[in-house]
Amino acid sequence: MAEFNHLVLVKFKEEVVVEDILKGLEKLVSEIDSVKSFVWGQDIESHEMLRQGFTHAFLMTFGSKEDFTAFLGHPNHVEFSSTFSTVIEKAVLLDFPVVTVKAPA
């Protein structure tokens, strides 16, 4: 079975304390076993025209699409999502099976 990724690009609302949201995300993924890996980053290089206001990227990897589906329905995710949706100005979500071209060393 192919791994499955959940990619989220966000622009937070101006008044949001991003560090608090990041702590919440890190807590969330540590509590849910179906999350195989989680990485995030803040854009520091792209030209504003290219990033279209998005500032942060979050990538979760799951062992399968079924694991991702279980994550979506997990009570902790449902609760966090309701909070997360109130602090973002805009977001892009992409959920996709992984196609590995070059595996990590």
Start-end of H helices in 9-74: 18-31, 48-51, 65-73
Q: What is the pLDDT of residues 76-94, one digit of tens each?
A: 999 999 999 999 999 999 9
Whole-angstrom Cα distance, residue 41 to residue 20?
Answer: 15
Residue 24 belongs to domain with CATH number? 3.30.70.100
* Helices 75-87 and 65-73, packing angle to 10 deg: 70
Q: What is the pLDDT of residues 34-45, one digit of tens each?
A: 999 999 999 988
Whole-angstrom Cα distance, residue 45 to residue 38?
Answer: 21
Provide the domain limits for residue 81. Answer: 4-97
Is 45 a member of any domain?
Answer: yes
Predicted structure pTM score:
0.90
* Number of independent structural domains in the chain: 1
Rg (CA), the chain: 14
